[in-house]
Structure 1
Amino acid sequence: METNKSKIDQLLQKYKEGNCSLEEIEWLQHALSTADIHGQDAIDQAIVANLLQPSSVEKMSESRQKIMLENIKEQIQRRAEDSDKISDMGAESIVPMQKKTIFSIRWLYWTAAACLLLFVFSTVFWRQQTSPVQMDGNLAGIQDTMKDIVQPGGNRATLRLADGTLLELDKQASGIVMGESITYENGKSIASATLGKERMTVDPSKVMLELTTPLGGMYQITLPDGTKVWLNAASSLKYPMSFAKNERKVILLGEAFFEVTKDSSRPFKVQSKGQEIEVLGTAFNVNAYPENTTIKTTLITGKVKLSKENHATLPIYLKPGQQSTNTNSGNIQVANVDTAPFTAWKDGLFYFDETPLSEALQQIGRWYNVEVRYKAEVPQTHFYGRIKRSKPLREVLEVLEEGGLHFELNKKQEKNILLVTPLQ
């Protein structure tokens, strides 16, 4: 506890000065919520005394204040739920009564502290909103150049039918379902895309359709076999109206997350940029954007077999928690990874874990439909942390600028250009 207490003291001082990173704030919150009960009393008073200073809040950027507010609210809700669970435990519970009592005291204590924090944050927000706004110097160009802040992407996609008809899908829906006809997830039919058996003059396994998402778009599809696919921004998936009797094959360009329905008699195959993935039933992510020099396949559950098309090399097998990196030269490397950063996009998050600047901004550029340009050599900066993809671009950049960057947004022929310059 002494080591943690020392680190907590240091982070509290940084927090008071407005210099705490999001990762440090998350560590602090975790340390406070999981500390050993016997060592908690020694730091409680100092913690609350430090945190309940409005001056500390005022020095934080508005986006970081919002993130802190969200975290505090979530913590209050989580503690309330935990308290309810313990209160509901019967006489046969293995939790000692003494621990129940201590937990209740701690819950009340921290709920009171969190509520006070909410009051402090709310007061600061009110004061900021009723006083002249002072724009952050690094990001002033974004507000000056464009009337509206660039908003995040959403549910956007088009569906190309076998006859070439291009349908723009409903933005209020999150996905489509394939069957004898094509419907949205809520059951609403896509009228002009109804393809019943009576209209099929050829083998439906030969009738190819293509779902495409633009920059700033994502969409979900349930394939004829029940397999679910989430398509990330600037991606496309080609698939048949109905799968063949001996195999299920799709073609991917871009990034997608697959939850494959198990069918031992029909392997599921994903072809992308010369690579083929074969599975029976599993969950995995494939990143195969055309501008990237590698294909990254990340396995969550199950087992997959990787091979290069038209190559006689032995296939590679992945286990859960492994990721393959396939280069244009045909070399495949396998590593154990934390899968969360590579699948978080499906759940509405940017998840950076020692992510290089160029890769982080590439993700941001696709989602906000901005073209990223560098005024100087790309800095060898790495980012950590999680940011909701639902936030406006400006709030995301406020977090990234802590890595020593200057951002400027210009508009040229309806295209948003994000200029990146490292601070000297």
Structure 2
Amino acid sequence: METNKSKIDQLLQKYKEGNCSLEEIEWLQHALSATDIGDQDAIDQAIVASLLQPSAAGKMSESRQKIVLGNIKKQIQQGTEERDKPKFSIVWPYWAAAACLLLFIFTMLLWQQQTSPVQADINLVRMQDTTGVVVKPGGNSATLRLANGTLLELDKQASGIVMGESITYENGKSIAAAALDKQGMAADPSKVVLELATPLGGIYQVTLPDGTKVWLNAGSSLKYPMSFAKNERRVSLEGEAFFEVTKDSARPFKVLSKGQEIEVLGTAFNVNAYPDNTAIKTTLVNGKVKLSNDKRYSEAIYLLPGQQSTNTNNGKIQLANVDTAPFTAWKEGLFYFDETPLSDALQQIGRWYNVEVKYKGEVPQTHFYGRIKRSKPLRDVLDVLEEGGLRFELSKSDEKNILYVRPL
């Protein structure tokens, strides 16, 4: 048993460095999943001790160890199965090691959030010592532009507003400064357009006149009328939003964004249509949506639950079956990475922490896995990503935080 334990220690070190050969990872997989080893608990403890800081390993509960070890074994087993597929055989060893290690680290970070607040404080101090810049997470923040051009700063202690005969916060408190254009409302409230906008690092919610709920992600805006017309409900989106549409068979609900139109009667879906993205991604959670764009209106696409459309600038729309959770987790306060490319992960992080991301040198084509709360300081998130073979430098220029990314 001691021989196995020693060999596991050696391979885990290579594993963390991404240098395990195919044969070594296969051996590691068999060792971790073996049921006939006399002292499996001792081997499991060796794994924990190798991959955790000593202080953290000592505090880990038995139930948490089982969860972490289960994740490791599961990912290595999946990697071995993927190796048998010819199209992945060349790149599998690096991918399997990176995927398993990153999933493990995310699991540990989630555990540390609940059991080791001191660790988070240490990370925060380290950021201060190296750069003098501490970047806190985003939060509730938005402005509301009225039809007459008045711009209102909304309460950061509130999470959203409710539209009706007047505008209130979700707790019922009136927005005192919301003096609406009485003449415009008297003429036709459906033509009185308001705009809710979130800055980078902001999130907010609005309940529309029909009861539809919309969550706006960071750096987004939604234009909508004070009252919907009799024959349809129409809004315009720039950025990202999650919609829970109230059913009304007599009035379709339409979302316009970058030349794309989504039409629904009552459903829940996410739209990612940031101006700097090359494509619009629409992810359907439940219900059914009809999707078209200004380049091919005659060829509407229908989405079913669990499907995502990718609408590129050239007018091509592709459909794929997806796990919707990674695309809607931001509404629940999570980063959810599931084989997420480095550029996409950093784009999400940049918008939420309001930092500009710049790359130094050739950055590896890394993918990330796992979940982490968006309420954590930026340093905590970067600590996780650095395990993927990256280093980050944070600086400040003209009141703008800049995050430099470079390989090890």
How does the TM-score come out when normalised to structure 1? 0.72
2:337 is the counterpart of 1:341: no
From 223, 226, 235, give the equivalent of 1:241: 226
Distance, in Å, in 2 between the alignment partners of 1:271 and 1:328 is: 15
Cα shift at 1:199: 8.1
After superposition, what is the alpha-carbon deviation per residue over 1:207-231, rounded to whole angstroms, capped at 9, x for unaligned? Answer: 0000000000000110000000010
Cα shift at 1:129: 10
2:130 is the counterpart of 1:144: yes
Is the contact made by 1:141 and 1:408 (CA closer than 8 Å) also made in structure 2?
A: no
2:204 is matched with which residue?
Answer: 219
Distance, in Å, in 2 between the alignment partners of 1:340 and 1:65 is: 33
Indicate the SS of the match to 2:269. strand
After superposition, what is the alpha-carbon deviation per residue over 1:169-208, rounded to whole angstroms, capped at 9, x for unaligned? Answer: 1111111100001111111110121559898332000000
1:371 is matched with which residue?
Answer: 356
2:290 is matched with which residue?
Answer: 305
Is the contact made by 1:142 and 1:409 (CA closer than 8 Å) also made in structure 2?
A: no
1:319 is matched with which residue?
Answer: 304
Cα shift at 1:56: 6.2
Map residues 240-279 of structure 1 onto 2, 5 A cutoff.
240-279=225-264
After the TM superposition, which parts of structure 1 deviate over 6 Å for at least 4 consecutive aligned residues? 7-18, 39-44, 196-199
From 47, 53, 56, give the equivalent of 1:58: 53
2:388 is the counterpart of 1:403: yes
Query: How many residues align structurally?
Result: 346
- Aligned residue identity for 1:145: T
Q: Please, what is the CA RMSD of the aligned residues?
A: 4.0
After superposition, what is the alpha-carbon deviation per residue over 1:303-327, rounded to whole angstroms, capped at 9, x for unaligned? Answer: 0001112644310111111100000
Distance verdict in 2 for CA 1:173–1:8, change over 3 Å = farther
Distance, in Å, in 2 between the alignment partners of 1:186 and 1:381 is: 44
Distance, in Å, in 2 between the alignment partners of 1:408 and 1:358 is: 16
After superposition, what is the alpha-carbon deviation per residue over 1:53-112, rounded to whole angstroms, capped at 9, x for unaligned? Answer: 6x864358x8x999x78x949x8xxxxxxxxxxxxxxxxxxxxxxxxxxxxxxxxxxxxx
Map residues 10-409 of structure 1 onto 2, 5 A cutoff.
19=16, 45-46=41-42, 49-50=45-46, 57-58=52-53, 72=64, 143-147=129-133, 149-193=134-178, 195=180, 200-309=185-294, 311-409=296-394
Distance verdict in 2 for CA 1:259–1:43, change over 3 Å = farther
Identity %: 68
Distance verdict in 2 for CA 1:351–1:56, change over 3 Å = closer
Cα shift at 1:141: 6.5
Cα shift at 1:375: 1.1
- Aligned residue identity for 2:345: A
Distance, in Å, in 1 between the alignment partners of 2:117 and 2:226 is: 53
1:84 is matched with which residue?
Answer: none
Distance, in Å, in 1 between the alignment partners of 2:212 and 2:9 is: 48
After superposition, what is the alpha-carbon deviation per residue over 1:232-276, rounded to whole angstroms, capped at 9, x for unaligned? Answer: 000000000000000000000000000000000000000000000
Indicate the SS of the match to 1:361. helix
Q: Which runs of 5+ in 1 are unaligned?
A: 1-6, 22-34, 76-117
How does the TM-score come out when normalised to structure 2? 0.74
Cα shift at 1:384: 1.0
Is the contact made by 1:305 and 1:315 (CA closer than 8 Å) also made in structure 2?
A: yes
- Aligned residue identity for 1:46: A
Distance verdict in 2 for CA 1:298–1:129, change over 3 Å = closer
Distance verdict in 2 for CA 1:161–1:65, change over 3 Å = farther
Is the contact made by 2:142 and 2:198 (CA closer than 8 Å) also made in structure 1?
A: yes
